Amino acid sequence: MDCDRKGERIDAPELGDGAHRRPRVAPYACDHGFQAAHTLPLRVRHQTLGAVNLLLGRPGSLDGGDCGRHALKFG
C-alpha cells in the first residue's frame, strides 16, 4: 500500500532479520521459502497506477539493472 500511495520503491532484502515494515507478512513469506521482497511502483508518465511485488528465494537487494530486467517482463 505504501508503494501505491507514495510511488516509491520498497525493499526488504532480508525478511528474516525482523527489521522489515510488515511483521505479519514477512514470517508467512519466510515460511513459504521467500527470503527477500521488493515492491516496485507501476507508473505511466508521472502517475502511479499500482505496484508489483517481487519475492525472492534468496536474501539480497536488487540493483537498477535487476529492476529494469524484471520490469520488462511485466511490460
Domain boundaries, the chain: 2-74
pLDDT of residue 69: 64
pLDDT of 52: 84
Within 10 angstroms of residue 53's Cβ, the number of other Cβ atoms is 13
User: pTM of the prediction?
Assistant: 0.74
Asked whether the predicted pLDDT for residue 64 surpasses 70, the reply is no
H/E stretch holding 72 reads helix 64-74
Instruction: Tell me what pLDDT residue 66 has.
Output: 62
Tell me: pLDDT of 22 over 80: no
Report the CATH fold assignment for 2-74.
Beta-Lactamase (3.30.450)
- How many CB atoms are closer than 10 A to CB 31? 8
Among the listed residues 19, 16, 5, the one whose alpha carbon sits nearest the alpha carbon of residue 49: 5
Residues 56, 47: Cα–Cα separation, whole Å:
27
